[in-house]
Amino acid sequence: MIQGVQLDLISEERLARLTSMEKIRLILDEVMAGNIVVLEKGLTPEESSRLIEMTMMEISPDGFAGIEMETYPARAQGGGLLARLFGGGRESPSRLTVIGPANQLKMLRKERDLISAWVSSR
């Protein structure tokens, strides 16, 4: 059989139809099944923190080891690197986000404008 990894790209529209809990459950179910999820628009900080909380509860020895999650910071408008992130506008910094199982998805580079990841099959 050909080895492979399933990649699911979820549109902003679809995400907007889901409640926070549905979103988190969807992501966690996908990732626990070994899939990589790319969200067109990321989670709010509160949703991310709930996702982490639920992820922690699913971790088991020699089983699920957690997630790898990366997103871009909010658009910087001059000033410091994170000027807008901290003390900038009110809206949540939620942009394109990639989430996957920690034992399969490794972040190679994370810059302000580039995220480079490496995916292995199980």
Q: Which residues bind another protein (CB under 8 A)?
A: 44-46, 48-50, 52-53, 55-57, 59, 61, 65-69, 71, 73, 79-83, 85-87, 90, 92-93, 102-103, 110-112
**How far apart, in whole angstroms, are the C-alpha atoms of residue 37 and residue 52?**
15
* Contacting residues for 65 by C-beta, under 8 A, at least 6 apart: 59, 101, 102, 103
The Cα 100–Cα 122 span in angstroms is 12
Closest CA to 27 of 70, 56, 67: 67
Nearest distance in Å: CB 62, another protein: 8
Site of tokens 């990841």: 117
Q: How far is the CB of 1 from another protein (least distance, A)?
A: 27
Question: What is the sign, positive or negative, of the torsion defined by CA atoms of 8, 12, 17, 22?
Answer: positive
CB of 66 to another protein, least distance (A): 3
- Taking the least distance from each CB to another protein, the nearer of 2 and 122 is 122
Nearer to another protein, 10 or 67 (CB): 67
For residues 2 and 113, which CB has a smaller minimum distance to another protein in the complex? 113
| Residue 47 beta carbon to another protein: minimum distance, rounded to whole angstroms | 9
CB closer to another protein, 9 vs 56 = 56
DSSP H or E segment with residue 31: helix 20-32
